[in-house]
Amino acid sequence: MTAPAQWKKSSFSGGGEGNDCVEIAKLHTRVAIRDSKVPAKGMLFFPAGTFTAFISSFKAGTAGRDIERP
């Protein structure tokens, strides 16, 4: 799989050089995610709709609520 050409860094990056975060890149039908501290280590790819639902659950405060906890 080809690496995306343009990455966007999270607006919630840590202090200093802002490298304590993730970066995302929009592709035609997928979203790529990588760690900004070690971008060459690898990427995760998600279908665009799945990634959108994931982010929406965080914004709504419902992320992880359907996970059973001990």
pLDDT at 70 over 90: no
Mean pLDDT, rounded, of the chain: 80
pLDDT at 35 over 90: no
How high is the pLDDT of residue 22? 85
pLDDT at 47 over 80: yes
Q: What angle do CA 23, 36, 19 make, to 5 degrees?
A: 110
Q: Which two tokens stand for residue 31?
A: 């979203």
Helices marked H in 17-64 — which ranges?
Answer: 48-59
How high is the pLDDT of residue 32? 93
Q: Which two tokens stand for residue 65?
A: 């609520």
Whole-model pTM? 0.69
pLDDT at 39 over 80: yes
